[in-house]
A and B are shown apart, each in its own frame.
Chain A
Amino acid sequence: MLLTTETMVLNMGPHHPSTHGVLRFILRTDGEVIHLCRPDIGYLHRGLEKIAEQLPYAHFMPYTDRLDYLAAMNCNLGYAITVEQAADIEVPPRAEYIRVLVAELNRIISHLISVGTFAMDIGAVTPFTHTIREREWVNDLFEELCGARLTYNYIRFGGVVFDLPEGFLDRLSHFLDYFEPRLEQYNRFISKNKIFKERLVGVAVISRQQALDYALVGPNLRASGIDWDLRRDEPYSVYGDLEFDVPIGTSEFGVMGDCYTRYWIRIWEMEQSVRILRQCIAKMPEGPYLNKSKRKLKVEPGEIYVRTEAPRGELGFYLISQGGIRPHRLKIRTGSFSAMSIVEELGSGLMVADLVALIASLDVVAPEVDR
């Protein structure tokens, strides 16, 4: 070829419509084809881990809301379980059920956002507004529960801060009856759309080995065919008593571990969350919702690592205590961070439009990457 073309550096983000918060990618492209894609993170760094060292244990709870603002309940839950295990706090059964209930409800709305923005990144605007409409209903339910719509600060060490309001479970099952047919509607609407499939099937395939090498977690890991879900394999709270399936990626739609499989895993997980919620409603025990025995919390010196299954995968808290009312060190391990690390390897050779699909399919949320 006599024709030589120059590559150009394209700066995508941090203010770009499809970077889900504030992410930045430095791309070296040859026209549309990406030769090198380097994620540049840190635009949303708030030093949460350092803040944790300055505050008493209970005071850090509102900060976990901001850890992943689309799944605040799950982050609350992970932190609460960590401290409870370290400080040996009992949790009453009703509180355990309420916690699982809110966590699964939050998983649903987090996946709704993920699915909606996914479609929006592929160019279909309407599914987003429809998923937002459903999310609004859940937000109303959460508002009823704890007064907040986004950053809930609902879970406490030893339970939850408020009991379920009168008639909450009825309203919740009303929502579930409404929501379940909606999923099928989304599938007709966008999931099975020919163009949507064309854009996603076989794009940015993550093999089993790659998924393990990059320590992917959650839906991204399961989409690559690895059957691993902490809720089932290392049950915490009352997940051991509940029945649910763990959706695994298949090669039914073409290639396992591509963007399209990752999309479907989220749809299937929403179905399973509805199942879990129905069981929670049926089994909800009576009794106290908060163990108020330990008001002045002190943790014995030692180390503990607790991991829970958040919507974006494994959420781990590594707590080092040297006694006292504050942690010595709190390391937070999040799913989005490891998901971002694989972008550089998968990115080269993709087109700009595919990169957008890849980021959307990994369901990266900026605050979780930067913390």
Chain B
Amino acid sequence: MENLVNDLFGQFAFLQKLGYVPTAAVVMLTCGLIVLNFFGVMSGLYTFFERKVAGWTNARRGPNRVGPYGLVQFMADGVKLILKEDIIPAAADRSIFKFAPYLLLLGTTLSFVVIPFGPKWIIGDLNVGVLYLLATGSFTVIGLIMAGWASNNKFALLGGMRSAAQIVSYEIPNALAILVVVLMAGTMSMQGIIRAQAGGIHHWFIFSSPFSFLAFFIYFISAIAEINRVPFDIPEAESELVAGYNIEYSAMRFGVFFAAEFGNIYVITAVAVTCFLGGWQVPFLDVGELGPVGRSFGSFMARPQVLMLLLLVALAATFLAWKALRAFVWDVRRKRAFFGSRFVRFHSELLVLGLVFAGGALVLALHLPLRAYLSTIYWAFFQYLLPFLVFFGKAMLLSFVVLWWRWTLPRLRVDQLMGVCWKYLTPMGFVCLVGQGFWMWLFS
């Protein structure tokens, strides 16, 4: 957090007038709110994403009614959940029943503290970052057992017991795989682990050694088991336990369970990206070294990587413009009204682009200090936006795999699940850890 505060403090003169401590307070509060909201919106968007992926695999369409492409469907669902009657079974243990979902949510939210969003943007870059993550991950199991027990329902109880056995077991291969990374990076801090992977794709930990390559898959599989996703979703197995631990929950309490579950997908993919896929490291471009180059604009733009990037942006813009043109022609041929037209309905992104251009024109017309703006934009882009987009993109790619499995694979039986953990993943995790030690001893 200090990094971010210092960075902003150095960049903007008006902050210096404000003073350091107030700046720090404001920045921290704002960032905390942004990250918290990011969590909320993400878990909502995940429900949308999941339903779209489900639609693609199930040969149907998925949500497409509320908002453009059905994007705000999750808000409608949220409103519905809030307005629904909240039923607590008469025989339930009321206080535990009420508390359980929030404990689950707490675990997920706490995880977001150490998830990086960029080189300088992280709520708390703890020196025990990954250890902290393993600890917050264990909140889940308490929440699930509490929910299962307090519901006073046998299916819920079975679900809670299953989740306890499952999550506690899978912590072990999970931790072992992360230990391999800690061994390689020499630090447990999330940013430290990402910085250790600087310098191109072959420095990413997944590709650094055969053992870390294996460790990635161990981590990914056991992490999916820890968040109860298919093929390890036995705690809520629909065809066996109806809904498992959350069977008695309704309305927003149920929604909170789901928000936590979907938020967890982002947590595990973000950790996988951090530990194995280079975090916010951009392939072919070293973002870390851009700090001091901040204001020497011309020399930076001349680099081949940047030119390539610009070329890509230009290609994307051309593609969008072509699609928009076709939509426009379609509208004109059919004499559609402006707001009902395809152009407006499907190309609202062009409106944003237009606003950006209008802003640029305004800057030029009013003779505003263009150079200062450009350097700020450039600083914001390469220090904040690009790393975040890269990180987010990688996480989304992995999330897609999680959702894709959800809709493709059947589910394991409870004993087979334990077998996978104790007979395969845990021994393999130990082999990876020892092997990585030898590997580093040989090649260092």
The residues in A between 337 and 371 inclusive whose CB is less than 8 angstroms from any CB of B are: 351-354, 356
Residues 267-324 of A contacting B (Cβ, < 8 Å): none
Q: Do the beta carbons of B407 and A125 come within 8 Å of each other? A: yes
Q: For residue A17, which residues in chain B have a CB less than 8 angstroms away from its CB?
A: 238-239, 242
Q: Is the beta-carbon distance between B59 and A129 smaller than 8 angstroms?
A: yes
Task: Please tell me if A195 contacts chain B, counting CB pairs below 8 Å.
Answer: yes
B411 within 8 A of A: yes
Q: Number of contact residues on B: which range applies?
A: 20 to 34
Tell me the bound Cα distance from A18 to B411 in angstroms: 14
B408 contacts A124, C-beta separation under 8 Å: yes
Contact call A126/B161, Cβ cutoff below 8 A: no
Bound-complex Cα distance A195 to B410 (A): 6
Given the known interface contacts A120-B239, A125-B407, A126-B58, the answer about A353 and B161 at a Cβ–Cβ threshold of 8 Å is no
Answer yes or no: A150 CB below 8 A from chain B CBs: no
Q: Is A123 within 8 A of B60, CB to CB?
A: no
Min distance, Cβ A166 to any Cβ of chain B, angstroms = 30
A contacts with B: majority SS: helix
Shortest distance between the CB of B436 and any CB in chain A (Å): 28
Give the residue of B162, B233, B408, B413 whose beta carbon is less than 8 angstroms from that of A199: B413
Nearest chain B CB to A23's CB is how many angstroms away? 13
In the complex, whether A133 has a CB less than 8 A from a CB of chain B is: yes
Tell me, in angstroms, the Cα distance from A11 to B154 when the chains sit together. Answer: 9
Tell me the complex Cα distance, A31–B237, Å. Answer: 16
Q: How far is the CB of B64 from chain A (nearest CB, A)?
A: 17
Known: A129-B59, A352-B158. A190 touches B410 (CB 8 A): yes
Residue from B58, B158, B237, B242 in contact with A123 in the complex, judged by beta carbons closer than 8 Å? B237
- Cα A17 to Cα B155 in complex, Å, equals 13
* B410–A18 touching, CB < 8 Å: no
Interface: A183 (CB within 8 A):
no
The interface residues of chain A lying within 8 Å CB-to-CB of B234 are 353
Contact call B237/A10, Cβ cutoff below 8 A:
no
Do B154 and A195 have beta carbons less than 8 Å apart? Answer: no
List residues of B (394-419) whose CB comes within 8 Å of A's CBs.
407-416
B107 on the A face (CB < 8 A): no
Neighbour of B154 across the interface among A10, A16, A130, A356, CB < 8 A: A10
Tell me which residues across on chain B come within 8 A of A196, comparing CB atoms. 410
Q: Is the CB of A123 within 8 A of B233?
A: yes
Q: Please report the C-alpha to C-alpha distance between residue A193 and residue B54 in the assembled complex, in whole angstroms.
A: 19
CB under 8 Å from chain B, chain A span 178-223: 190, 193, 195-196, 198-199
Closest CB in chain B relative to A332 CB, distance in Å: 29
Taking CB atoms, residues of chain B closer than 8 Å to A10 are 154-155, 158
Known: A17-B242, A18-B239, A32-B158. A122 touches B59 (CB 8 A): no
> Total A-B pairs in contact (CB under 8 Å)?
81
Q: Is the CB of A195 within 8 A of B412?
A: yes
Does B176 sit at the interface, judged by CB under 8 A? no
A133 and B408 CA atoms in complex are apart in Å by 17
Q: Which residue of A lies closest to B161 (CB)?
A: A31
Q: Closest approach, in angstroms, between the C-beta of A19 and any C-beta of chain B?
A: 10
Q: Quick one: which of B55-87 are within 8 Å of A by CB?
A: 57-60
Judge whether B407 and A123 touch: CB under 8 Å.
no
* Chain B residue with the shortest CB-CB distance to A122: B410
- Whether B230 is near chain A, meaning CB under 8 Å from some CB there, is yes
Kindly report which residue of chain A lies nearest to residue B411, judged by CB atoms: A123
In-complex Cβ contact of A18 among B58, B59, B233, B240 (8 A) = B240
Question: Which one, A16, A122, A133, contacts B242 given CB within 8 A?
Answer: A16
Establish whether residues A126 and B57, one from each chain, have CB atoms under 8 Å apart when the complex forms.
yes
Whole-angstrom distance between the alpha carbons of A130 and B305 in the complex? Answer: 45
From A31, A122, A190, B239 is in contact (CB under 8 Å) with: A122
Given A8-B154, A352-B158, decide whether A123 and B59 contact each other with a Cβ distance below 8 A: no
What is the chain B residue whose CB lies nearest that of A355? B240
> For the complex, what is the distance from the CA of A351 to the CA of B162, rounded to whole Å?
13
B221 → chain A closest CB, angstroms = 13
Q: Do B409 and A195 touch (CB < 8 A)?
A: yes
Is B148 part of the binding interface, using a Cβ–Cβ cutoff of 8 Å? no
Tell whether B44 is near chain A: CB-to-CB under 8 Å: no
Chain B residue at smallest Cβ distance from A18? B239
Contact status B409-A123, CB under 8 Å = yes
Does the CB pair A124–B240 fall under 8 Å?
no
Q: Does B429 contact A (CB under 8 A)?
A: no
Contact A121 B413, beta carbon cutoff 8 Å = no
| Closest A residue by C-beta to B230 | A123
Is A141 positioned at the interface, with any CB of B under 8 Å from its CB? no
Interface presence of B118 (CB below 8 A):
no
- A351 B238 Cβ-Cβ under 8 A: no
Could you tell me the distance in whole angstroms from the C-beta of A259 to the nearest C-beta in chain B? 12
- Chain A residues with Cβ below 8 Å from B60 are 129
Q: Is A119 an interface residue (CB 8 A)?
A: yes
Tell me if B387 counts as interface (CB < 8 A to partner A): no
Contact between A199 and B239, CB atoms less than 8 A apart: no
* Shortest Cβ gap from B54 to chain A (Å): 8
The smallest beta-carbon distance between A268 and chain B, in angstroms, is 21
Chain A residues positioned under 8 Å from B416 (CB to CB): 198-199
A119 to B154, CA, bound (A): 25
Is B101 interfacial (CB-CB < 8 Å)? no
A124, B409: Cβ atoms closer than 8 Å: yes
CA distance A32 to B417 in the complex (A): 13
Would A353 and B59 count as touching, CB distance under 8 A? Answer: no
Q: How far is the CA of A105 from the CA of B424 in the complex (A)?
A: 46
The contact of A130 among B59, B158, B238, by CB within 8 Å, is B59
Q: A residues 66-93 with Cβ under 8 Å of B?
A: none
Additional 14 contacts, C-beta under 8 A, given A199-B413, A199-B416: A17-B242, A32-B162, A122-B239, A123-B239, A123-B409, A124-B409, A125-B54, A130-B59, A190-B410, A195-B412, A198-B412, A198-B416, A353-B237, A353-B240
B interface residue numbers (CB < 8 A to A): 54, 57-60, 154-155, 158, 161-162, 230-231, 233-234, 237-242, 407-416
User: Can you identify 11 A-B contacts, CB atoms within 8 angstroms?
Assistant: A8-B154, A18-B238, A119-B410, A123-B230, A126-B407, A133-B59, A195-B412, A198-B416, A351-B415, A353-B411, A354-B413
Leading 8 A-B pairs by shortest Cβ distance: A123-B411, A129-B58, A18-B239, A124-B410, A122-B410, A123-B410, A121-B239, A353-B413
Interface residue ranges, A against B (CB under 8 Å): 8, 10-11, 16-18, 31-32, 119-126, 129-130, 133, 190, 193, 195-196, 198-199, 351-354, 356
